[in-house]
Amino acid sequence: MDARETTFRRWLGEHRGILVRLTYAYATGPDDREDMLQDILLALWRSVPSFRGEARESTWVFQVALQVALTRRRAERRRRPSVPLADTPEPAADGEAAAEQRMRWTRVLEALRRVAPLDRAVLLLALEGASQQEIGDVLGVTAGAAGVRLHRARRRLTEVLGG
Amino acid sequence: MEFTDIASAWKQGPADVGRLVDDRLMAAVLEADRALARTVVRRDRLEFVTAVGMATVFLWIGWSSTVAWPWVSAAVLTLGVGSLFLWEQVRRNRNAAHPPQSVIARLTEALRETDHQIAQLRSVVWWYLLPLAGVAVLVLVGTILGARDALPPQTWARVRMGAFAVLIPVLASAFGAIWWLNAHVIRSRLVPHRKAILELVDQLTDREAE
């Protein structure tokens, strides 16, 4: 395994949860989600040689994934060979707690989808634990600008969630 | 819901797709990468190699013809069009060597690339269709002039007129269809895509957010 593949596998191993949840936030359905994840994986793979370590790896991964999600054209789907993903494991039906958890998550997802794409990106970063500085680094704006945008996006999300 | 509760609920969502980093996936990513490179690189290289091949044939015909200038001119025009594809590949490689990093830089680069594609397709008449039409006319002129001594004058005049009477409508139809297709792609795909990216860039550079 060469250095490029090692880096790629490490990025996926450390950030796969974020990548999967991002596709839920931006894709329009299961097929589109799979296509988007394939596009993100391909973009990440192609970006490995360009990564010089000037930014944090998580910042880089976010930047690549967000660019794909924000600029992707649906006409580009299925033009490339499919990257087969393993079956998405169905959550175990193990009682009320799991059902409640799923329902809360679905409610947050539906609210996120009603927010503008760029505000959705800011919210996703914040929900995944990024600081204002990190959000600014990912987007390419100052931490102050990122903070203002995050404040507006959080207000919008709260409105959509009904208080 | 408090934002911390929202974040907690969000992180409990799907986080896995099973064997996300298995060998089968790696093989598929590598193949998708190779296929993409083949599609982009092969198209431009094929155009250039075809242009060089055709120019060589034209020069050889001109060398052995009594009237060389149409064939030499056709070779020059063909090489000119082919070299534009080579230049496009050089431009793409140069951009790939210095990729943007932040989302706004990537969006700005995507906007620039979309503008470049639109400009290329809008000007296709000048840098592709007209030169190729010129090559077709020059080949016909070279053929007709080369046959002048082999045909009686009246026959040669009729052949000359007939050839152009067929060639011009064929060229106009074929190139008109290509031009229309390009215009359709610009209108239906590239312009809406550009508008979407521009909105994102405008939002990110919104000075009210500062």
A89 domain residue, yes or no: no
CB A39 within 8 A of CB A68: yes
Among A88, A104, A116, the residue with its CB nearest the CB of B14 is A88
Dihedral sign, CA of B184, B187, B188, B193? positive
* CATH number of domain containing A25: 1.10.1740.10
Where helices occur in A30-116 by DSSP H, the ranges are: 30-47, 57-71, 96-113
Residues of chain B neighbouring A163 (CB-CB closer than 8 A)? 1
Residue A82: its chain B contacts at CB < 8 A?
28
Q: Mutate which of B3, B16, B19, B20 to test chain A, going by most A C-beta atoms within 10 A?
A: B20
pLDDT, mean over chain A: 84
Q: A3 and A79 share a domain?
A: yes
Minimal-distance CA residue of chain B relative to A75: B189
Is-contact A116 A107, C-beta < 8 A?
no
Q: What is the ipTM of this complex?
A: 0.79
Amino acid letter, A70: L
Tell me how far apart the alpha carbons of residues B210 and B189 are, in angstroms, rounded to a whole number. Answer: 33
User: Does any CB of chain B come closer than 8 Å to the CB of residue A27?
Assistant: no
Q: Check A63 against B103: CB less than 8 A apart.
A: yes
Shared domain check, A79 and A2:
yes
Query: Domain end: A84, A113, A132, which one?
Result: A84
| pLDDT surpassing 90 at residue B56 | yes
Q: Is B103 on the interface with A (CB under 8 A)?
A: yes
Model confidence pLDDT, tens digit, residues A28-69:
888 888 888 888 999 999 999 888 888 889 899 999 999 999
Percent of chain A with pLDDT over 90: 44
Q: Which residues of B touch A68 (CB under 8 A)?
A: none
Domain identity same for A69 and A99: no
Any domain includes A5? yes
Inform me whether the pLDDT recorded for A73 exceeds 50.
yes
Mean pLDDT for the stretch of residues B96-121: 87
pLDDT band at A87 (very low <50, low <70, confident <90, very high): very low
Minimum Cα–Cα distance from A84: chain B residue: B25
pLDDT for B77 equals 94
Domain that holds residue A121: 94-163
Cβ–Cβ gap A154/B3 under 8 Å: yes
Same domain for A3 and A53?
yes
A87-116 residues touching B, CB cutoff 8 A: 87-89, 101, 104-105, 107-109, 116
Q: Would you state the pLDDT for residue B21?
A: 57
CATH code, A132 = 1.10.10.10
Contact B35 A24 (CB under 8 A): no
The answer to whether residues A129 and A79 belong to one domain is no
Q: Is A20 in the same domain as A79? A: yes
Domain annotation covers residue A38: yes
Nearest C-alpha in A relative to B106: A67
Say how many domains are in chain A.
Answer: 2
Domain boundary among A84, A110, A136: A84
Amino acid letter for position B39: T
Average pLDDT rounded to a whole number, residues B80-103: 84
A121 close to B (CB below 8 A): yes
Same domain, A65 and A106: no
Do A161 and B1 make contact, defined as CB atoms within 8 angstroms? yes
Q: Would you say residue A120 lies in a domain?
A: yes
Q: Is there a contact between B77 and B142 (Cβ–Cβ < 8 Å)?
A: no
Do residues A53 and A105 share a domain?
no
CA distances, B126 to each of A30, A105, A113, B117 (Å):
44, 55, 44, 15
The per-residue pLDDT for A89 is 42
- Of A84, A113, A137, the last residue of a domain is A84
Q: Do A60 and A106 belong to one domain?
A: no
Query: Between residues B33 and A62, which one has the greater pLDDT?
Result: A62
CA pair distance B62, A7, nearest whole angstrom = 56
**A100 plus A153 within the same structural domain:** yes
Tens digits of residue pLDDT in B125-173: 999 999 999 999 999 999 888 888 777 888 888 888 888 888 889 989 9
Which helix (DSSP H) or strand (DSSP E) does residue A37 occupy?
A: helix A30-47
